Chains A and B, each alone.
Chain A
Amino acid sequence: MRHLIAGSGQSRRLIGSVMNRSIFVAASGVVFWVMLALPAPAQAPVLPANPQIQVDYIQPKNNSTGEFAAIYAWLRARRPLEEIQKFLAPLRLPRQIKIQVDACEAESRAYVSGNPVTICYELIDKIQKMAASIPDPALKQTVVVGTFTQTVLHELAYAVFDVLQVPVWGREDDAADRLAAFVLLQFSGDVAHTAMVGSAEFFLLSRKTWTGGAFADTASPEAQRFYNFLCIAYGGDNLDFGGWTEAPQGQDPLLPDFRAKQCGYEYEQVRHSFNLRIMPYIDPDLLLQVKAAQWFLPGEVGK
């Protein structure tokens, strides 16, 4: 029965967010990052760092409200990019990739071959501000940790496509999302739930109204990304995420039936692409160690 309870629970939370949250305040942001910087002690994964991955946290010049400094302090304490170095231990890369956190004056910085992959303070700040509006502490944690993790994998995907010369059909931004979602879904329920539910909730909270020329953007609308994540999650695990296709009498499910019917196909399409073009670069023994490791600290995952 785990799937029914967990799935239904996630579904209700996400439905609630659609209906109840449209205005956000970020007053408690700095305090929130300090709280995350002091997690309960846990055993860090004993894995070698990928020697081809370099990481850096570039100290931000203080923005007007000082939030970047708080984020920087959290990053230096929690060191999530060093975790990513271990998480990617199985990936054999023919050349180095550097991942950095930097101030971009935008929420993202496009990847350019040979340059670092950049996670922008502005996006982390946005994640934190969106999460601050969520009353439920567990869901708040899920959004912060899950979205951050997904963001790192999304940005890394561009470099992986480049370095491994992966043919990319479709829009690259969607391919990066689908690859990130697929990878996160290969892990334990905690990791998969935190990343998928947190990211989906973030997309809902941050969605804007798109019209006309806005659709010329290479990035996809937040609502489109929301459904892409839901679909890959449901397609890969229709037990844990089955609640998204259920609804009380007279209401519509979060994931509409006509899309849900295709999700198994969509998931298999990504899996097939991954196996064909990326799996040959993955060490199978290290992969098992990565899958067996505990990646999130107990205080970081929503219940």
Chain B
Amino acid sequence: MTGVAMSFVRIAAAVTIVLALQSVSFTRALADDCLPDPGPKYQPIPGLTNGGYPVCYLQPNDTNKSAYTALQSRHILEVYAQFLSPLHLPHPLTLIALNCQPNFGSDSPFYSSGDRALHFCYEWYNDVLRSAPTATTPQGVTRANVITGMWAGTLLHETGHAMFDMLDVPVLGREEDAADQVAAFIALQFNKDVQRTIIKGFAYFWQIAAKSGDDPPTATNPNPPKDAMQRCLNDPLCAYADVHGTASQRLYNTLCLGYGGNPDAFKDFVQMGWLPKTRADDCGREYHQLEFAFFKTILPFVDPDMRKKVQSTQWLLPTEMQ
């Protein structure tokens, strides 16, 4: 994935406000265009029903047909709706899979408060497939880790934005970091295999992004782009104006929460030097800060019995955790 392509990821939240207004009419106009399940039909897990998460796959363009087929045949949105069923939001959260180009000018999934919808872009899934390693990395990250970690991590990240919005959560730090924290924290409430798949996959994606030039540049570009936003993202100072952390910050934040939440499961991150020792020493405290915030502000909206059932359900396929 190129640095330019990745820069779309970083600017996604910046355009969300504009998109929120556009998407009201967009989703209403296309609400009737949700594709029917071509079968085999999704078989819901008993006891995890919550009508608050309607799902919709919109017609993919030719480029995105394989992404649609992969997501729909896995029933990603239907599964995720059931996964979210213990969470009682005051309004429905619509889960939409769609072409984000050219309407939204970005490959990056987003939550929009204007229509209370989580938009999962087919293009994003393709980007992840391109980023995922073809062979296991020195850190032990597999292709399956990255693909699974990214679709799961991305859905959880955007759900974080939805919770902050609909539950009026006080967010004192930067919201994009907080949404990454939601993704990591929820992943860490499951068994070790799920934890390692999502944490490693999500973290590794940001490492690839950093290596592809997504961290702010250290030198001024002698030929700055004409587009104002691209010019900014190519400037050693202005690039830091992004509401997202840098790719490397997102990598280390994710590794740190994994290690802080379950030191035994993630101590290899520190041993191999992926997570620097200086940061690792603080990670237990960072995890507890996050746990406290989650318990105080979100847990009251989670049904405890359904939560136990969700935590004991196997959500990922064995092949997705290899």
Contacts and interface: CB of A to CB of B under 8 A. Distances in A.
A216 interface: yes
A7 to B, nearest CB: 18
Contact of A258 (B169, B216, B232, B237): B232
A266 B176 CA distance: 11
B241 A227 contact: yes
- The 5 A-B pairs with the shortest beta carbon distances in the complex, nearest first, are A170-B173, A273-B170, A215-B248, A223-B240, A175-B172
A170 B240 contact: no
A15 to B, nearest CB: 11
Contacts of B5: none
A299 to B, nearest CB: 32
Given A168-B289, A170-B178, A210-B216, A178 B241 contact: no
A217 B249 CA distance: 8
Interface string A250-272: 00100111110110011001101
5 contacts: A168-B289, A169-B172, A171-B173, A210-B215, A273-B170
Interface in A152-181: 161, 165-172, 174-175, 178-179
Contacts of A166: 172
Given A218-B282, A256-B229, A179 B172 contact: yes
Given A216-B252, A272-B170, A273-B171, A256 B292 contact: no
Interface residues of B, number: 54
Contacts of B14: 258-259, 261-262
A277 interface: yes
B289 A216 contact: no
B91 interface: no
A86 B253 CA distance: 37
Contacts of B243: 259, 262, 266
A273 B231 contact: no
A258 B177 CA distance: 18
A269 B279 contact: no
A217 B286 CA distance: 12
Nearest to A227: B241
B181 A252 contact: no
Contact of A259 (B175, B237, B242, B253): B242
Interface residues of A, number: 48
Given A212-B248, A218-B279, 7 more contacts: A167-B296, A169-B290, A170-B172, A204-B237, A209-B218, A216-B278, A277-B172
Contacts of B181: 169-170
Given A227-B240, A256-B228, A257-B228, A170 B282 contact: no
Contacts of A269: 171, 175
A255 B241 contact: yes
A224 interface: yes
A18 interface: yes
Contact of B229 (A213, A221, A258): A258
A18 B252 CA distance: 29
Nearest to B249: A215
A272 B164 CA distance: 12
A43 interface: no
A276 interface: yes
A226 interface: yes
A228 interface: yes
A161 B292 CA distance: 12
A211 interface: yes
Interface of B: 11, 13-15, 17-18, 164, 168-175, 177-178, 181, 210, 215-216, 218, 228-229, 231-232, 236-243, 245-246, 248-249, 251-253, 256, 275-276, 278-279, 282, 286, 289-290, 292-293, 296-297
A207 B218 CA distance: 12
Contacts of B253: 171
A209 to B, nearest CB: 5
Interface of A: 18, 161, 165-172, 174-175, 178-179, 204, 207, 209-213, 215-218, 220-221, 223-224, 226-228, 252, 255-259, 261-262, 265-266, 269-270, 272-273, 276-277
Nearest to A161: B172
Contacts of A207: 237
B224 to A, nearest CB: 9
B87 to A, nearest CB: 16
Contacts of A178: 172-174
Contacts of A167: 170, 292-293, 296-297
A260 to B, nearest CB: 9
Contact of B15 (A212, A258, A272): A258
B170 A277 contact: yes
Given A215-B248, A259-B242, A259-B243, A270 B11 contact: no
Most A CB within 10 A of own CB, among B172, B181, B248: B172
Given A168-B293, A216-B278, A218-B282, A174 B228 contact: no
B178 A169 contact: yes
Given A216-B278, A272-B168, A273-B171, A223 B237 contact: yes
A161 B170 CA distance: 13
Contacts of B178: 169-170
Given A211-B215, A259-B243, A262-B13, A170 B175 contact: yes
A174 B173 contact: yes
B240 A169 contact: no
Contact of B240 (A226, A252, A266): A226
B278 to A, nearest CB: 7
A221 B246 CA distance: 10
B275 A216 contact: yes
A107 to B, nearest CB: 15
A169 B169 contact: yes
